[in-house]
Amino acid sequence: MELAFYLSGLVAVLATIGVITGTSPVHAVVYLIVSLIAVALVFFALGAPFAGALEIIVYAGAIMVLFVFVVMMLNLGRDTDRDETFLHPRNWVGPSVLTLVLLGALFTLIGQGGIGQSIDGDLLTARAVALTLFGPWLMVVELAAILLLAALVTASHVGRRNNPLRGRSKPGKQGGKP
């Protein structure tokens, strides 16, 4: 169980460094997904399978889909017609190796029977999370949802291409639709 914990922690740190030093936004998002999955495996190694599952479903699933959508919508990278190095295998070696290390740590954890065993303390259940989030932290959850909605609307507005002819009539036509 300790080996899986340390390997997952190392992968999380290395993948986070890949996020920070990444030159391509898409590759940074891929490294971030690997980092979030590594943190989920840390939760599994510590005996909190529900927290690990929430980490994968909420962060590595839903939030990262939103990030990929925003990166694609903003088109922050260079033109893909000119730059074919995006799909070059050397760009995917780092995340692939880190993911293979995570798979090895997961198989080690499963082989030792460590998933579901709590180191010390209570097992985190869905009821405990729901009572905490929608009890004393309800306002924080609602504010986070509003913040994510505002970020999505802002990204949509920024990602919209400026068309100089938008809102004006075409030359040679009087009162025509844009």
Alpha-carbon distances, residue 128 vs 22, 112, 132 (angstroms): 37, 27, 6
The tally of domains found in the chain comes to 2
**Residue 143: is it exposed, middle or buried by C-beta count within 10 angstroms (0-12/13-18/19+)?**
exposed
Which residue, among 39, 80, 87, 82, has the nearest Cα to 59 in the 3D structure? 39
Same domain, 36 and 71: yes
Residue 101 belongs to domain with CATH number: 1.20.120.1200
Please tell me whether residue 47 adopts helix, strand or coil conformation.
coil
| Residue 138 domain boundaries | 125-158
62: confidence class by pLDDT, cuts 50, 70, 90: confident
143: confidence class by pLDDT, cuts 50, 70, 90: very high
| pLDDT tens by residue, 98-117 | 888 888 888 887 777 655 55
Cβ atoms 41, 106 nearer than 8 A: yes
